Amino acid sequence: MSKKRIGILTSGGDCPGLNAVIRGAVKASGQLGYECVGFLKGYEGLYDPVRYINLTPKNTTGILNQGGTILGSTNKGRFAATVGVADRVELDPDLLAGVQTTINQLGIEGLVCVGGDGSLAVAQQFHEFGIPVVGVPKTIDNDLSATAFTFGFDSAIDCATNALDRLHTTAASHERIMVLEVMGRHAGWIALHAGIAGGGDVILIPEIPWTYEDVCHKILDRESQCKRFTLVVVAEGAELPQGGRVGEAQSGAQERLGGIGQIVAAEIERRLHRETRTSVLGHLQRGGAPTTFDRVLATQYGAHAVRLVLEGRFGEMVCYHPPEIQNVPIIEAVNKLRQVEPYGSAVQAARALGVSFGDQVAEESPFAMQIETSKAATANEVELDADFVLDLAEAGAEEALS
């Protein structure tokens, strides 16, 4: 065997930017005199049967802006190292030994595993078995610990924001309530960010318990300001007020979520007798070209992963802590989630704008304190400046008519 080799695979649900990682890794490997091998269909291609292709700068040309993955992927099969998020499942030692043999026979110095929580949990077990791996974090849900951003997330929120922009105009024309269901299995990042960027009025996420009363209250409150349409964004993984998530159990795979949007819409219609429609964005969020941000992040991840192999930093994962790409042990990223912080700045900013999370802000919450302070400040100004009051009244009237 003439040259040293690096292996790469993409595992779990796909997302925009996977091809950009592959291209980045292939180009960076080439510069360092390495050959690159791409295993097909995630971890499945590693053993029985071994399926791979040689990756070259030539056959990865033009894939930077392509959605999906040229290597294929799967989120089921023999390589499942978790049940849900927290529980570890031991991989079959024969399977691990088989993978080890493949890696040795192909002369692979390091294997770059691109995946989300479940896939990185597999990489962690490979590492413990002695298989040389490095990780690259991926998921549109952005719920992985140890990194501020996974690639794919920015493309997904771009898609969801676009959808909200479109729903906005039709909602306004027909004076309807529009419910948009977006992905987000355990975390509400997509709903939160798209909701803010797309001017959502109500955002329902797994991290904040909500009630129909509060959702309806927000709709009526808008109506009292002559705003006769409302945009509700709901994450697929949000819990219903009566408990439980909406989806179908799957044998040998994680529950297939979906349907909460329809349930929320039906209940709003039942309670308020207002025309309500639902759109489910589903896998549109996972497809298509990556955004500029995701291309840059994914390319850096690919190049940095190759550097980790070169430095022999196995068992580590690339991560992004703005402004730098860094690395952490894979174990720090798996089996724990990075969820939306209910009192974090994004939620607070949304609340400050009047966005409802379908809850009543608790008296003792930092946000409630902030409202009290700003109420006091407004009262002061009103007392001091009569023109200001007039301006405010005019602005309010204009807004109500817009």
Q: Catalog residues that contact ligand F6P under the rule CB under 6 A.
A: 13, 75, 116, 139-141, 183-185, 236, 257, 286
Closest CA to 264 of 227, 238, 229: 238
Q: How far is the CB of 16 from ligand F6P (least distance, A)?
A: 12
Report in angstroms the alpha-carbon separations of 269 from 105, 151, 263, 265, 279: 62, 37, 10, 6, 15
Q: Which is nearer to ligand F6P, 205 or 303 (CB)?
A: 205
Q: Which is nearer to ligand F6P, 131 or 157 (CB)?
A: 157
Q: How far is the CB of 58 from ligand F6P (least distance, A)?
A: 31
CA 43 to chain centre: 22
326 token code pair: 């860094």
Helix (H) or strand (E) segment spanning residue 189: helix 189-197
Q: How far is the CB of 174 from ligand F6P (least distance, A)?
A: 29
Q: How far is the CB of 140 from ligand F6P (least distance, A)?
A: 5
51/42 Cα distance (integer angstroms): 10
- State the CB neighbour count (10 A cutoff) for residue 345: 9
Q: Which is nearer to ligand F6P, 195 or 315 (CB)?
A: 195
Contact indicator for 60, 18 with CB cutoff of 8 Å: no
Q: Which is nearer to ligand F6P, 27 or 193 (CB)?
A: 193
111 token code pair: 């294997």
Report in angstroms the alpha-carbon separations of 77 from 81, 82, 138, 253: 11, 12, 19, 8
Radius of gyration of the chain (CA): 24
Q: Which member of 141, 143, 154, 158 is catalytic?
A: 141
328/81 Cα distance (integer angstroms): 20
Contact indicator for 113, 9 with CB cutoff of 8 Å: yes
Active site residue 92: no
Q: How far is the CB of 209 from ligand F6P (least distance, A)?
A: 20
Q: How far is the CB of 302 from ligand F6P (least distance, A)?
A: 20
CA angle 80, 256, 138 (to 5 degrees): 55
Q: How far is the CB of 280 from ligand F6P (least distance, A)?
A: 12
328/275 Cα distance (integer angstroms): 50
121/130 Cα distance (integer angstroms): 14
Q: What is the number of the residue whose Cβ is closest to ligand F6P?
A: 183
Q: Which is nearer to ligand F6P, 13 or 261 (CB)?
A: 13
Contact indicator for 80, 250 with CB cutoff of 8 Å: no
Q: Which is nearer to ligand F6P, 176 or 245 (CB)?
A: 245
Q: Which is nearer to ligand F6P, 30 or 247 (CB)?
A: 247
Residues 6+ apart with CB under 8 A from 363: none
Catalytic residues: 141
